[in-house]
Amino acid sequence: MSQRYTIIGNYISPYVRKVLACMELKGLDYEIDPITPFVGNEAFTRISPLRRIPVLIDGALVLNDSSVICQYLEDKHPQPALYPADIAQRAKARWLEEYADTYLADVLIWRLFYQLAVRKHVFRETSDEAVVQHAREVEIPAALDYLETQLPVDGFIFGALSIADISLACYFRTASFVRYAVDATRWPRTAAFVQRMQALPVFQKLARWEDGVLRIPVTEQRTTLATMGAPLTRETMGSQVPQHGLPRG
């Protein structure tokens, strides 16, 4: 019998969302310790050498990095498959996942969401407007121009829902927390894709908990999530004091 998995990481994080979506789609049993990496304690540092979320705990096995975790879940629970069966398509799906995890994360999360939300709400700092403006005017459009050549008019990228669709959708979702939306007149395929993905039951289910903790201080999120029926761990690796840093997924 499969044992219960533990995920360390916050619902707001796109990297965590990617893993949770895979677990939900595969029907796996899990509990979550919804910390942000900024408040991880020493126990968290021991299991996440780069202080990144998510971390997956499966008995004695501790795994870091969302892409590594998703591939592990696929290897261990092959059905339903979230990676294309065709070798070339599988490679293309992994490339789009990598593109999402690096470039899309850089421009949507670290130069937009981090500046506008995390610096303000977690660290009580002001955002760097020049960084945000360059992201909005140059870097995000470059990503959207590329995605517009990769996405289908309808349905999923490789026929069935795959890790590529899931990964891309996760970053646009976190960007929406700072009211970023893709301009449908300029990038119609990407805008429609993001809407289609967000309408999927798996993302709707996660969205409820995401909306529940949005704009709530990290120290109060656990209590809120408990009242909303989120599958929380009993213990937490979160401390009360936010620490500086730019951990990635």
Site for its own copies, rule CB under 8 A:
49-50, 58, 61, 63-65, 67-69, 71-72, 75-76, 87-88, 90-92, 94-95, 98-99, 102-103, 146, 248
Q: How far is the CB of 94 from its own copies (least distance, A)?
A: 5
Between 61 and 153, whose beta carbon lies closer to its own copies? 61
Are 247 and 51 in contact, with CB atoms under 8 Å apart? yes
Which residues is 158 bridged to in the sheet? 160
Query: Cis peptide leading into 54, omega within 30 of 0?
Result: yes
What SS3 state is found at 216? coil
Between 105 and 169, whose beta carbon lies closer to its own copies? 105
Q: How far is the CB of 179 from its own copies (least distance, A)?
A: 27
Q: How far is the CB of 76 from its own copies (least distance, A)?
A: 6
DSSP string, 29-75: -EEEE---GGGB-HHHHHH-TT--S-EEEETTEEEESHHHHHHHHHH
Between 101 and 210, whose beta carbon lies closer to its own copies? 101
**Rounded Cα gap, residues 178 and 114, in angstroms:** 9
Q: How far is the CB of 56 from its own copies (least distance, A)?
A: 9
Written as one letter, the residue type at 182 is V
Q: How far is the CB of 109 from its own copies (least distance, A)?
A: 15
Between 105 and 112, whose beta carbon lies closer to its own copies? 105
Between 6 and 71, whose beta carbon lies closer to its own copies? 71
Q: Exposure pattern of 209-242 as b/e (b: 16+ CB <10 Å)?
A: bbebbeeeebeebbeebeeeebebbeebbbbeeb
Q: How far is the CB of 121 from its own copies (least distance, A)?
A: 27
Written as one letter, the residue type at 206 is L
Between 86 and 211, whose beta carbon lies closer to its own copies? 86
